[in-house]
Amino acid sequence: MKPQVSLVIPAHNEEDFLPDCLAAARAAEALAGIRMEVIVVLNRCTDRTEAIARDARCLLIREDAKNLSIIRNAGIAAATGEIIITCDADSRMHPGTVVEVLRRIRSGRFVGGGALVLPERWSPGIVASAMAVLPYLVFSGVSFGLFWFRKQDFEAIGGFDDRFVSVEDLDFARRLKAHGKLGGRAWGTLVRSFLTTSCRKFDEFGDWYLFRNPAFVRRVFRGDDRKAADHFWYDVRSGDAKE
């Protein structure tokens, strides 16, 4: 039987986080009472990520590009579900996420949306860093973190734009929101079914990093700075990031 929902998870060396991500997804699937296809897009993995995903009976896709747009697009291209959810491997969806996504999509009033994102821990530095990026997020007019939409709408706007090496998610969300508006459908944000995300970037770079480096934040939100993207996402190595 064709799955109603496909979950796409990009994964680069995620052995520490993927088990909890998958467990949360299965709990949400069970609460919704549906069959959900789970696709893990393996990106340059050298740890046990592939074995964990295989043992969990996920569909495995390989894409080694240092570009999350290409990685996400590869996973979604392989999806057979009518409704797509994307979630990073170091995050955990709320048990009510799939129920809420199905309710909103089926109402016909929503083109898709994001979710409220909460960190797994708080500190003064994390709050300050969040405030440093908040103006950029407010200006975008969309939510982010976990995305949900119909595959046909994804295809209608051409998916994630691979010209972006960062903030590809905000660009995608803005375009999907505009697409929905043409047909009278709104952008939705899951608030009660929030996303819990790891603080590994703060663990790697320090809780105050984004607050203390506003020039770097500006470079990231330009979307085309390869050096900034590699520094923060694609080439970072634990223990080498803090300044």
Domain-embedded: residue 164: yes
H/E segment holding residue 237: none
Query: What whole-number distance in Å separates Cα of residue 51 and Cα of residue 134?
Result: 37
Classify residue 239: in a domain, yes or no.
no
Percent of the chain with pLDDT over 70: 97
Which tokens go with 196? 């819990």
pLDDT at 2: 80
Distance in angstroms between the alpha carbons of the first and the last residue of the chain = 52
pLDDT at 180: 98
Tell me whether residue 243 is in a domain: no
- Residues 139-178 have pLDDT tens digits of 888 988 899 999 999 999 999 999 999 999 999 999 999 9
pLDDT average, residue stretch 67-88: 98
Helices and strands counted in the chain (H then E): 11, 8
Residue 220, domain member (yes or no): yes
**For 31-39, what is the mean pLDDT?**
97
pLDDT at 241 over 60: no
Task: Please count the structural domains in the chain.
Answer: 1
Residue 240 domain-assigned (yes or no): no
Asked if residue 1 has pLDDT above 80, the reply is no
Residue at 123 is within a domain: yes
The neighbouring-strand residues paired with 62 are: 42
Residue 242: inside a domain: no
What is the span of the domain harbouring residue 221?
A: 5-234
Q: Which residue is it, tokens 């909890």?
A: 20
In this prediction, residue 237 has a pLDDT band, given cuts at 50, 70 and 90, of: low
DSSP string covering 137-191: HHHHT--EEEEEEEHHHHHHTTSS-TT-SSSHHHHHHHHHHHHHHHTT-EEEEEE
3-state SS assignment for residue 80: coil
- What average pLDDT does the segment 199-217 reach? 97
Q: State mean pLDDT over 66-85.
A: 98
Residue 99 covered by a domain: yes
Give residue-wise pLDDT tens across range 94-147: 999 999 999 999 999 999 999 999 999 999 999 999 999 999 988 888 988 899
Query: Which CATH number do you get for residue 196?
Result: 3.90.550.10
